[in-house]
Amino acid sequence: APPSPLGDLLQTITFAAEKHIHQRRKNALKTPYINHPLGVAHILWFEAGVEDIATLQGAILHDTVEDTDTTFEELERHFGAEVTRIVKECTDDKHLPKMERKRLQIENAPHKSDKAKLVKMADKIYNLRDLQKEAPEGWTRERVEEYFVWAKKVTDGCKGVNGRLEAILAGIYAKGP
Ligand code: NDP
Ligand code: ZN
């Protein structure tokens, strides 16, 4: 097939689906995990008007290194330097304790590239909407509320790159969990 952004996108979706094959979301239905990265890219295209292919690929791949055996070398080989950099910017350091990772997300958000900020905002929108539908099993009301407070601190640091995502987030935080 000739080189095409559509082909690139299909390769990306297929790669991510294969990588997340054994993973499920933390909801009662145990939704296949791939629905999440696809949903994040869907938000970017349909709700934020983002047409940049590398950003959409970054969204589709954003949890592959954090949550599966995928390496950055592998991403680099398949999808090139720019897509890999976006994923890297959206990946927590697994060697750090969970609380430290959460603190670093807040601290680092303002210093990320515009493309990574877009993915991070859409990622939080997807997760916050999930939490508005139902709390994951074992989550107290308080834990859901804390997630909203933390997510706002992260997305506040991503402001200035897409007004539509900012408006969606403002609506979500106004409504709350
Ligand atoms: P987690 O980081 O454990 O879970 C939230 C993440 O799960 C989301 O960012 C999302 O990440 C993913 N996810 C999968 N399914 C869903 C879904 N249906 N809805 C929303 N998100 C989903 O939780 P916290 O951030 O709250 O906690 C981090 C740490 O702090 C944990 O170790 C926890 O034990 C501790 N903690 C405990 C509390 C308690 O009350 N016991 C309160 C607060 C924190 P992705 O985009 O990567 O899929
Ligand atoms: Zn995610």
The H-assigned helical ranges of the chain are 5-19, 35-42, 53-61, 64-67, 72-89, 98-108, 114-133, 141-156, 163-175
Q: What's residue 51's pLDDT?
A: 98
**Identity at 78, one-letter amino acid code:** H
End-to-end CA distance of the chain: 46
The structure tokens listed for 101 are 């990772």
Q: What's residue 106's pLDDT?
A: 98
Mean pLDDT of 50-60: 98
- CB of 92 closer than 6 angstroms to any ligand 1 atom: no
Q: What's residue 131's pLDDT?
A: 98
Predicted TM-score (pTM) of this structure: 0.96
pLDDT grade for 10, boundaries at 50, 70 and 90: very high
ipTM over 0.90: yes
The structure tokens listed for 159 are 């402001």
Ligand 1 site-directed mutation target among 127, 140, 141, most atoms within 8 Å of CB: 127
Ligand 2 centroid – CA 77 distance (Å): 22
